Amino acid sequence: MPKYKILYKLSHASGELVDESLDIPFEFYSGDGQLDSCLESCVEEAKVGRLQTFLLSSDEAFGQVHDEAIQVMNRAEFPKDMAIKTNNGIKFKTPTGEPYIGCIDKIDGDDITINFNHPLAGCDVSFQVEILEKSESLK
């Protein structure tokens, strides 16, 4: 698996910044899950030492919004001391015990609407990346 050291900037297609690592290089191994697979594919296509921009449609990036990934839960299903506020992320566990994050979209009395879609689902994005180093690893 190759190891990469990159600088990147992820934005909505409109230009609104989502995330960046322009001061401190980001390091990861191909396939280790630190970088979303759609962005990792761009890194694999990029040339070392050259700043490149990839424009990804929502289908190429984080997919479309799926209505079935939006669920309404009752306030009683959450710990009493948990702060319930819109836009807060909440960690849940899948049936196999894996962590999964949902975001509170709406609060209507005791009904809490949780969105389990990726936060960038339905969005076209721009991914600007410069590979500083690429090395083969025995990891």
pLDDT cut 70: percent of the chain above it: 98
Domains detected in the chain = 2-63+122-136 (3.10.50.40), 67-115 (2.40.10.330)
Per-residue pLDDT band for 94 (boundaries 50, 70, 90) equals confident
Q: What is the pTM of this model?
A: 0.79
DSSP letter at 1 equals -
**DSSP H helical segments within 12-62, as ranges?**
37-45
- Region for residue 59 given its phi and psi (left: phi exceeds 0; alpha: psi -120 to 50; beta: otherwise): alpha
3-state secondary structure of 63: coil
Q: Give the burial class of 112: count Cβ atoms within 10 A of its Cβ; 0-12 exposed, 13-18 middle, 19 or more buried.
A: buried
Write the pLDDT tens digit of every residue in 62-90: 999 999 999 999 999 999 999 899 999 99
- Mean pLDDT computed over 39-47: 96
